[in-house]
Chain A
């Protein structure tokens, strides 16, 4: 009853609860929150309290004193730490309702990986309820990504979307508002970062942090050899000497370091095409594959997949926000007829 009253003062939300970033789309508005999915926990004796959430907490990653732990409560697209996720969602929901007198109690649509288990989905649902949501709906991430990218999901025409997130890569073939084929591989932006860290340690004998690896990936990372070679100066702790040293990395080295996760993604795309019904495969061959998610921003990734599959590959506009925007569109259709878009557990 109280939740219903509070619901009158809350906006419906679509949440892309990602491994790397959490985005919130407010119904009839826009994306109003885009923060890293990081929570800093402070321990005082046996008591734990939230020290920071989002961008503030991300700045603490790898730089915390003993009593503060900056953690990422989502791993591989699903909840790794239930209570911390709940706290994080609570913070984000209240942040987008910060003018409210009452604790917000919105209807929430959360995007979940298509291959997540019932237990994982329930955990996300419970977490959102615990964070104050009045009702929680779940939608498969690739479906939200396809809607957000502007693919004609309602047509009797096959569309293939590859959503490369922080923890997972979702591949789906969609037709007539339904998922014909879907696959999820636990490879994403985080694996790219790990590969860069491993490469630098192996070849330069230096240790760099995840944040530095992410910066390297964003600035000079490439998935396909390009005519232009980029370079970046990096400082890392030399393992032999134990002191920070500076060295220079170029884009070809990063390309080499990313080979393993990239080939995993390409293999999944090929596998999806293999298992796709021939009519839909023909549609996909005619129009192409759409890339969404933060991973799609990796330079020349579309070129790599195109070369490997022989199909046209395009990157969606504003790929980072496709899932949240797609969830938002589904939310707008919620009261009408789009319940078939939502998953049922």
Chain B
């Protein structure tokens, strides 16, 4: 059985290699991309072009991606709804707890920095959201599950609300575009504050969308981990 698989895969790889060689390797940018590069800063006000594409030109895809995380978190809450507590009830040794106590504010601030400076430097909502979610997972591992349940900032009930608030913020920005007479998810056309490119408060609605998707990703991933780890 395994030999048939290897044979099939070898044939497929050969076919793929011989055919895909012919894809033309472009020297200059494609026409759409050259427009993004030349006029991206003027159209959106963001200097990070990937973020401008993700949250302004193709913002609808980002809404879909945030919805995938939301659906995944909802699926986990649906499937893992029985309360059972696993091994890391009490957390790790005091050395790790002390170290974590020193590190965690810095990780948090770094995550917030990555989210908020998404339109200037590499980063953005998703990357920063993942950093904050990993902070939440670290806190659960180090301090134990009972810490998670009792503290208010990272507790699972608050996480569901944060996720929904992030989603509504995204949709709200989109609907602002409709209410001002433009299209859904319009950025500078809808009158958001443009500012000077390269500064923190610029690029219209892109920082707000970054924050919304960052909240959503952080809350969603932390709900996923908490559901598997034995929450309610």
Q: Do A and B bind each other?
A: no
